[in-house]
């Protein structure tokens, strides 16, 4: 059995923001490896901007400097994905009290589904408290500058799609 501490960071990452990057890098303070799981589901009606493969690719490019971070897509139950990855720890970011109720419910349910499953909540840097992928999508699609909010691989794609307004 591996002695490595493996954490799973699940989410939609549509696209990854500096808030996500902050949480993932912080996880490396207590995990040896972090597996970023990009969740997709045929039954999930949430509208996406990027295809799942491209979300994974943007995460890989963002962490090109960090071999301890991997990105993969997954479908189905998070606990099954975590088990398959050899991880008994989920890391989630908490931005506001409003995130708490849902996150707490998910954490308890995931542990109910698989008893060893623990969830760790991390607070982001204050600078990222108000950041969300949905706001980034909205601002970029309206021609706003999202360069302070996303890593370079995301900015490149948003600029290609929506024009220079995303970066100038």
Beta-bridge partner residues of 93: 122
Q: Which is nearer to ligand ADP, 23 or 154 (CB)?
A: 23
Q: Which stretch binds ligand ADP (CB under 6 A): 8-16, 59-67, 73-81, 135-143?
A: 8-16
Scored b (16 or more CB within 10 A) or e, 32-58 reads ebbbbbbbbeeeeeeeebbebebbbbb
- For ligand ADP, the binding residue among 92, 110, 140, 150 (CB under 6 A) is 92
Q: Which residues in the 129-158 window bind ligand ADP by CB under 6 A?
A: 131-133
Identify the H or E element spanning 18.
Answer: helix 18-27
Provide the minimum distance between the beta carbon of 20 and ligand ADP in the complex, in angstroms, as a whole number.
5
Task: Indicate if the alpha-carbon torsion angle 30, 6, 74, 72 is positive or negative.
Answer: positive
Q: Kindly tell me which residue out of 6, 7, 8, 13 binds ligand ADP, with binding defined by CB under 6 A.
A: 13
110 is a site residue for ligand ADP (CB under 6 A): no
């Amino acid at each position: 059995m591996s002695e490595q501490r493996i954490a799973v960071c699940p989410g939609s990452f549509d696209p990854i923001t500096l808030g996500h990057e902050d949480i993932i890098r912080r996880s490396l303070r207590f995990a040896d490896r972090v597996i970023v799981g990009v969740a997709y589901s045929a039954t999930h009606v949430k509208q996406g901007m990027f295809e799942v493969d491209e979300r994974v690719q943007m995460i890989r490019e963002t962490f090109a400097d960090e071999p301890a971070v991997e990105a993969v897509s997954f479908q189905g139950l998070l606990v099954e994905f975590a088990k398959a990855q050899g991880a008994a720890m989920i890391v989630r970011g908490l931005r506001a009290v409003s995130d708490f109720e849902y996150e707490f419910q998910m954490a308890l349910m995931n542990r109910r589904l698989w008893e060893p499953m623990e969830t760790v909540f991390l607070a982001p840097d204050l600078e990222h408290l108000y950041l969300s992928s949905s706001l980034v999508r909205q601002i970029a699609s309206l021609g706003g500058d999202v360069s302070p909010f996303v890593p370079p691989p995301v900015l490149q794609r948003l600029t290609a799609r929506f024009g220079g307004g995303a970066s100038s």
